[in-house]
Chains A and B, each alone.
Chain A
Amino acid sequence: MTDQCVAPAAPLAPRARLWPALGAVYRAQLSRARVARIPLLFVATFQSVGIMVLMRGVVDGGSEARAVVAGSSVLVVAFVALNLLAQYFGQLRAGGGLDHYATLPVPPASVVLGAAAAYASFTLPGTLVTAVFGCLLFGLPMGGLWILLLVVPLAGAALAGLGAALGLLAPRQELATLAGQLGMSAALLLGVLPPERMPELVVRARDLLPSTYGVEAFARTFAASPDWGAVALDLAVCGAVGVLSLALATWAYRRAAVR
């Protein structure tokens, strides 16, 4: 514009930095989850406990029992991190809530990682309860349960990233909910059922699901002398998928926030 008197551009306010902003989002999301999602955490836990009780009649100990307990525990993570987070981001996007974040100078990664981390850590108590109950039910050793402190964040990152990406990419809110539900059903069927009884094709599909590696890592720790190398490898795969899926979610957020 030539008719404008050119004034020097006003200074820009500083951006929010990645980690402090992430911390602020994490704290806010955790408090949100506490207020609104506790009943759902109960649902998730009861669901997993119920599945284990049902499987008790089918499975008689050994590696199958380990797979059932590990799968049911990680299912709590899938329920909250994948399903609920997909719903949350779908709802946020449909309801115009993303505008709030998009008009704040906050890095997209802070919003996505903060929310994902909050949802993932919110699942920890439910996962622990499920695992302890499963160990008692099937008579498994509880000495290795500390591994959940690694399994929950790593599987949580992978599943939460996937959930956030689904919620942000789905063209409609209902589709986001549907995708979240389907993802959780996949985690349920492919994660809880012992792989020994699955057809080849389904085992392949199981390998594609990020939660599988968390389940495997956890299941291995029930062995008398666990193969720690294999556990570490499983967790590494989980972490790598987590990084990828969170990167995807961050990209999806950027895309959804500015249209």
Chain B
Amino acid sequence: MSTGTAQAGHTAAGATGDAVCVVRDLVKTYPAVRAGRGAPALPETRATDGISLDVRRGEIFGLLGPNGAGKSTLVRQLTGLLRPDSGTVELLGHDLVRHPERAARLLAYLGQESTALDELTVALAAETTGRLRGLRAREARAARDEVLEELALTPLAHKPLKKLSGGQRRLACFAAALVGERPVLVLDEPTTGMDPVARRAVWSAVDRRRAQCGATVLLVTHNVIEAETVLDRVAVVDRGKVIACDTPAGLKALVSDEVRLDLVWRQAPPLDVPEVAALRPKATEAGRRWLLRLPQDQARAAVAAVTGGPAFAALDDFTLATPSLEDVYLALGGRTKGLVRT
């Protein structure tokens, strides 16, 4: 067993021998779309623009970026669903560009859509997926029961997915992805809409598979908090390119000299206070909220200014925090919107 062998401590060099998935210079361009009735013309889009990655055995590797960054297009190429224009994808020693059909025999994929399973009951969705993953009837039933129990879905086993809440439906699709073990799990935003209990169930199920079978996980997310807590390494994707790839801690070290200051005003900000007026050009404003990224000494001075005198009377709330992956993303030149913190 190779439990957690490739962890945060590894450096990029010399670790490729243990790579599960090796991606080199991957390019995928969507052709321009002519304007149709009610649809605007779209220019040619490079959804994947020369991406190279190494995912190591046993790690949870994340692709972080806002919607439209090219994460899902990249994942579709890694799962054999989409043919790249050029570049190579090697998964567990198999060339997936030449043999895309092998992907299904190496990995389990949880896509964003549940259309194929929506009208089935949770139990039948899991069992059928297991059967189609090559399990015998008895094995599929046993695996189904085990996974539903593990994810606390047994009470919902006989409900159709359609009748479940968004988070429960997502969990049921995740259950289907786990039936019939695979050494690689590719999960595209698996926890969307889930409550904290369901999220915990997902991450402990993932951890169990890592510990027991050395499974490798490729995770797509636009949630920075999730990325920071569960990922071993993360590639930050923006406009079809990987703009950084390291451990979350390593990435945050890039912006460690900055802190993040959130100010919420009761009503209008007190611009008659000179210190507050001076902060305004540096702030990203969203309604009554100001978001500032400042060097530590300036942040201290700003906090002193807003927590004393007339500025404090106008202040509703403030938080001071160390930088998150969102700050890293912005510092690296990512577009401003689209990552979530929930």
Contacts and interface: CB of A to CB of B under 8 A. Distances in A.
A binds B: yes
Contacts of B113: 95-97, 99-100
Nearest to A8: B93
B105 interface: yes
Contact of A103 (B107, B125, B131): B107
Contacts of B81: 99, 102-103, 257-259
Interface residues of B, number: 52
Contacts of B136: 20
A92 interface: yes
Interface of B: 16-17, 19, 22, 24, 76, 79-83, 88, 90, 92-94, 100-109, 111-117, 119-121, 124-125, 127-129, 131-134, 136-137, 140, 160, 180, 182-183
Contacts, number: 132
Contact of A20 (B88, B117, B131): B131
B119 to A, nearest CB: 4
Interface stretch (A26-34, A52-60, A64-72, A152-160): A26-34
B134 A14 contact: yes
**Interface of A, helix, strand, loop or mixed by DSSP:** loop
A240 interface: no
Nearest to B17: A5
A36 interface: yes
A197 interface: no
B116 A4 contact: no
27 contacts: A1-B22, A3-B16, A6-B93, A10-B92, A10-B93, A13-B106, A13-B182, A14-B134, A15-B105, A20-B137, A23-B131, A24-B140, A28-B124, A28-B125, A31-B120, A31-B121, A92-B116, A96-B112, A97-B116, A99-B76, A99-B111, A100-B116, A103-B81, A103-B111, A104-B104, A105-B134, A259-B83
B8 to A, nearest CB: 21
Interface in A18-45: 20-21, 23-25, 27-28, 31-32, 35-36
A142 interface: no
A147 B259 CA distance: 79
Contacts of B88: 1
Given A15-B105, A258-B81, A97 B133 contact: no
Interface string A96-135: 1111111111100010000000000000000000000000
A34 B107 CA distance: 32
B302 to A, nearest CB: 47
Nearest to A37: B119
A208 interface: no
Given A15-B105, A258-B83, A35 B160 contact: yes
A15 B137 CA distance: 14
Given A28-B128, A91-B115, A259-B81, 14 more contacts: A4-B19, A7-B93, A16-B132, A17-B134, A24-B127, A28-B124, A92-B115, A96-B112, A99-B76, A102-B81, A103-B107, A104-B129, A258-B83, A258-B100
A201 interface: no
Contacts of B134: 13-17, 105
A99 B117 CA distance: 11
Contacts of B132: 16, 21, 24-25, 101, 104-106, 110
A92 B116 CA distance: 7
